[in-house]
Structure 1
Amino acid sequence: MARINLEIENTNDLEVSDIFSELREKVGEIPAAYRAFALHPHILQANWNRTKNILGKGSLPIEVKEAIATRVSKVNGCDFCLKIHKENLVKLGFKSATVESIANGESSDQRLDLVLKFVSTATKDPHHLNDSDFNALKKLDFSERDILEILTVMEMYTGYNKIIVALDLQPDD
């Protein structure tokens, strides 16, 4: 059970209502985290805009971004987030066994495997990243822009994981 009251979907706040409508259109429901963010409409707006921009723009495919979200959620112990991102990978066409491997930081695809290992280290302790980690990505044709995008996706989901765990949000909230 959430540690704070979550905003109801039938809000009278126009800004919140507009974002909730957009969320319903994009994901079918209002995720608990966004209902929590709605307690402060400016926080809801900032987080929704951030998510749309990071997931909807850039050079990394959504499959890689969801794989990053899945791995980061596992590393951060956010079971709620892990469940959602695993489901998203299945919707994107990944088989269950592949999704489990991704959650555990492994992939048969060399590029994705390296990304998963990179974000695992960056999530746990970014001080352990070194030039060879960056050079390994570059050797597999990841540009510096791609690397920044990988880190940004990792950072966004790490932040969401921490808020969701702290609030003890659950799938049925």
Structure 2
Amino acid sequence: MARLTKLTKDEVTTDVKELYTNVGKQRGNVPNMFRVYAHRPEILKTMIAHMNAVTNTGTVPVRTKEFVATLVSRINGCEY
């Protein structure tokens, strides 16, 4: 079965390096799924924009969204 690698900052284009830096500042790290999506920078950019829109807009407070995401991850046994 084919597997995609997680790209490091040294393996990506300049614009993706900038995305990694910005995400790292916001989240404290660059999630592995972002490192995989870096194979397709146009999709990575769209995904980050979508996640920011979902997280930072709307009537539900950001803290509540983060709590729910953490709770669901824990229930599902996610290591993150």
Band the TM-score falls in, shorter-chain normalisation: 0.7 to 0.9
1:145 corresponds in structure 2 to none
CA contact (8 A) 1:34 1:44 kept: yes
1:80 corresponds in structure 2 to 79
2:61 corresponds in structure 1 to 61
Write the distance in 1 (CA, Å) between the matches of 2:77 and 2:45.
23
Deviation (angstroms), 1:56? 1.3
1:98-132: CA deviation from partner (whole Å, max 9, x where unpaired): xxxxxxxxxxxxxxxxxxxxxxxxxxxxxxxxxxx
- Give the 3 Å change call, closer, same or farther, for CA 16–55 of structure 1 in structure 2: same
CA contact (8 A) 1:6 1:36 kept: yes
Deviation (angstroms), 1:22? 0.7
Listed as ranges, the gaps of 5+ residues in structure 1 are 82-173
If the length of structure 1 is used for normalisation, what is the TM-score?
0.40
Write the distance in 1 (CA, Å) between the matches of 2:77 and 2:36.
16
Aligned residues: 78
Write the distance in 1 (CA, Å) between the matches of 2:40 and 2:49.
14
Write the distance in 2 (CA, Å) between the matches of 1:35 and 1:49.
15
1:147-167: CA deviation from partner (whole Å, max 9, x where unpaired): xxxxxxxxxxxxxxxxxxxxx
1:16 corresponds in structure 2 to 16
1:38 corresponds in structure 2 to 38
- Give the 3 Å change call, closer, same or farther, for CA 78–38 of structure 1 in structure 2: farther
Larger RCO: 1 or 2 (CA < 8 Å, sep 6+): 1
The Cα RMSD (Å) is 1.9
Identity of aligned pairs, percent?
Answer: 22
If the length of structure 2 is used for normalisation, what is the TM-score?
0.78
Where do 4+ consecutive residues of structure 1 move more than 6 Å? none
CA contact (8 A) 1:9 1:30 kept: no
Question: Residue 58 of structure 1 aligns to a residue in which SS?
Answer: coil
